Amino acid sequence: MKEWLVLITEHAIVIIDALALVIIVAGTIEALIRSLNLLFSPPSGPARRDVGLRYAHWLIAGLTFQLAADIIETAITTSWDAVGRLATVAVIRTFLNYFLERDLAELRDRQRARGT
C-alpha cells in the first residue's frame, strides 16, 4: 500500500511541476509578445504596467503550483537532508510569492489613487 501511495505521489509531483512550467512559460511568452508590441506602439505608462502586472500574476500562479509540489514531496521524502533541501526551496518560493504579491498590491493601490 505504501509503495502505491509513493508512486501516485511521485506522479502527482511531476504533473504539478509540469503545470507550473506550462504556466510560467505561457506567461513569459505572453509578456514577451506584449512587450514587443509596446516597442512598436506609442509609449504608454499604463500599458507597460499592465504587462508587468499580468506577468507577475502568471509567476505567482507558477510559484504556487511549485510550492504545492514541494509540499507533496515532503510527504514521501525519507531523509532529513532531503527534507531540509525541500524546506529551503519552499521557503524561498514562499518569500518570492509573498514579495511579488505585496508589490502587486502596492501597484494596484497606486493605480487606484491616480484613478487609472
| Per-residue pLDDT of the chain in tens (116 residues, 90 and over written 9) | 788 988 999 999 999 999 999 999 999 999 999 999 988 887 677 777 788 888 988 998 998 899 899 889 888 887 888 888 888 888 888 888 888 888 888 877 877 887 75
Predicted pLDDT of residue 19: 98
Is residue 115 classed as helix, strand or coil in its secondary structure?
coil
How far, rounded to the nearest angstrom, does the alpha carbon of residue 48 sit from its chain's CA centroid?
20
**What's the grid cell of residue 1?**
500500500
Predicted pLDDT of residue 116: 54
Q: What CA–CA distance (Å, rounded) separates 114 from 93?
A: 32
Q: State pTM to two decimals.
A: 0.77
Per residue, the 3-state secondary structure of 42-64, as one string, reads: CCCHHHHHHHHHHHHHHHHHHHH
How far, rounded to the nearest angstrom, does the alpha carbon of residue 101 sit from its chain's CA centroid?
10
Predicted pLDDT of residue 65: 93
